[in-house]
């Protein structure tokens, strides 16, 4: 069991550029979550997929942020026109469908926007 895989581990972008973050959930897990972690805000929920379908995106900034899950083995979080305030660690988590709160987190992608 390789755990949740996130790539890249670190990403540096210039202001206004696009950033795409990748997540591979644990095999057999049907729920995938995205969170953002900062020192000031802690862990913030962004969005959630179940069986590849978007279920709850209530934490996603309405502009510039989007997430997809094209197949059961990966999900992407895309940030368009990145801004310095987007700098954070973006964490992906997955869980079994009947234990959605028992989430297994990946190591995260540290995004730095210059």
Interaction between residue 95 and other proteins (CB under 8 A): yes
Name residues contacting other proteins, limited to 22-41 (CB under 8 A): 31, 33, 41
Binds other proteins (CB under 8 A): choice among 65, 108, 109, 113: 108
- Report H helices in the chain: none
Provide CB contacts within 8 A for 23, sequence distance 6+. Answer: 4, 5, 6, 32, 34, 74, 75, 76, 77, 92, 106
Residues of this chain that bind other proteins (CB under 8 A): 3-4, 31, 33, 41-45, 48, 50, 55-56, 58-59, 91, 95, 100-108
């Amino acid at each position: 069991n390789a755990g949740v895989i996130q790539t890249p581990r670190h990403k540096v972008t210039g202001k206004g550029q696009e950033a795409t973050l990748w997540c591979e959930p644990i095999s057999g897990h049907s729920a995938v979550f995205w969170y953002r972690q900062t020192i000031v805000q802690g862990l913030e929920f962004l969005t959630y997929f179940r069986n590849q379908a978007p279920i709850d995106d209530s934490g996603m900034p309405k502009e510039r942020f989007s997430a997809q899950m094209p197949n059961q083995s990966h999900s992407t979080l895309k940030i368009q026109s990145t801004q310095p305030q987007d700098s954070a660690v973006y964490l992906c988590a997955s869980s079994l469908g009947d234990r959605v709160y028992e989430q297994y987190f990946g190591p995260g992608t540290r995004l730095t926007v210059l």
